[in-house]
């Protein structure tokens, strides 16, 4: 087998998630994952630190990417609009990377207390990065932390809805929808809720649902 296989990581991820769903996360070993993928344990170690890393690989890149997007947002945007714009901007690349196994991955995490705790730690890292970026935009520390946690909640809401039916709308659109719902819930009587800076792009307003026969 060649030393470098461009599809090895994807094969290992698919094999791992299949096994996690069949046997339970706690009952699966790295050796089993490698064998299911038709690869060696050494190859597994080139791509992932451990079996948990299969589910969270690349997640350490999300906090700095989001922070950069917040800092790059239009300086004229208010903090909340800049935050939502950053979440939506980064979501495209994220969706492309996780889409094939997103629903299965969510099911695996939901069945493991260890993985749920790992997920909470990852989201806490995102909140810290977002708060830091908002601080650099002039938001005071307390409000920056509050907005960052709100941003994480918006992201989680949008992501879950997108995973439920990814063919209906993009992750970006789902994030915009979650943000708009929050804005309307906080200020239901406002004539113009603060969503105009991140309104759903016209190109995303109509997504025909895919037929089961497509």
Give pLDDT tens digits for 81-126. Answer: 999 999 999 998 888 888 788 999 999 999 999 999 999 999 999 9
pLDDT at 190: 52
Q: What is the mean pLDDT of the chain?
A: 87
Q: Give tens-digit pLDDT for 18-72.
A: 999 999 999 999 999 999 999 999 999 999 999 999 999 888 999 999 999 999 9
Which residue did the predictor score with more confidence, 173 or 188? Answer: 173
**What is the rounded distance in angstroms from the CA atom of residue 75 to the CA atom of residue 67?**
14
Q: Read off the pLDDT band of 79 (50, 70, 90).
A: very high
Query: Which range (86-90, 125-129, 210-214) has the least confidence?
Result: 210-214
pTM of model > 0.75: yes
- pLDDT at residue 157 tops 90: yes
Report the top-level CATH class of 58-198. Answer: mainly alpha
Mean pLDDT for 158-167 is 93
CATH number belonging to domain 8-55: 1.10.10.60
pLDDT > 70: percent of the chain? 85
pLDDT at 197: 43
C-alpha distances (whole Å) from 29 to each of 51, 109, 114, 118, 183 are: 7, 16, 15, 18, 45
Number of C-beta neighbours around residue 120 at 10 A: 10
pLDDT > 90: percent of the chain? 74
**Cα angle 53-12-126, degrees, rounded to a multiple of 5:** 30
Q: Read off the pLDDT band of 210 (50, 70, 90).
A: very low
8-55 against 58-198: fold identical: no
Q: Is 81 helix (H, G, I), strand (E, B) or coil?
A: helix
Per-position DSSP letters for 103-169, written without gaps between them: HHHHHHHHT-HHHHHHHHHHHHHHHHHHHHHHHHTT--HHHHHHHHHHHHHHHHHHHHHHHH-TTTS
Domain range list for the chain = 8-55, 58-198
């Amino acid at each position: 087998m060649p030393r470098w296989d461009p599809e090895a990581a994807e094969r290992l991820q698919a094999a791992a998630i299949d096994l996690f769903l069949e046997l339970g996360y706690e009952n699966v070993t790295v050796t089993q994952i490698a064998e299911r993928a038709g690869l060696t344990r050494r190859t597994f170690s080139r791509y992932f630190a451990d079996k948990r890393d299969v589910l969270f690989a690349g997640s350490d890149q999300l906090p700095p990417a989001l922070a950069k997007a917040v800092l790059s947002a239009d300086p004229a945007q208010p903090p909340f609009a800049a935050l939502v714009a950053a979440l939506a901007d980064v979501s495209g690349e994220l969706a492309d990377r996780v889409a094939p196994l997103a629903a299965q991955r969510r099911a695996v995490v939901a069945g493991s207390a260890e993985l749920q705790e790992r997920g909470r730690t990852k989201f806490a890292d995102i909140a810290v990065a977002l708060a830091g970026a908002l601080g650099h935009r002039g938001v005071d520390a307390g409000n920056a932390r509050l907005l960052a946690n709100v941003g994480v909640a918006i992201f989680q809401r949008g992501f879950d809805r997108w995973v439920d039916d990814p063919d209906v709308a993009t992750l970006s659109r789902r994030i915009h929808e979650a943000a708009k719902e929050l804005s309307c819930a906080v200020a239901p009587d406002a004539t113009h809720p603060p969503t105009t800076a991140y309104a759903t792009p016209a190109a995303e307003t109509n997504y025909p649902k895919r037929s089961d026969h497509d």
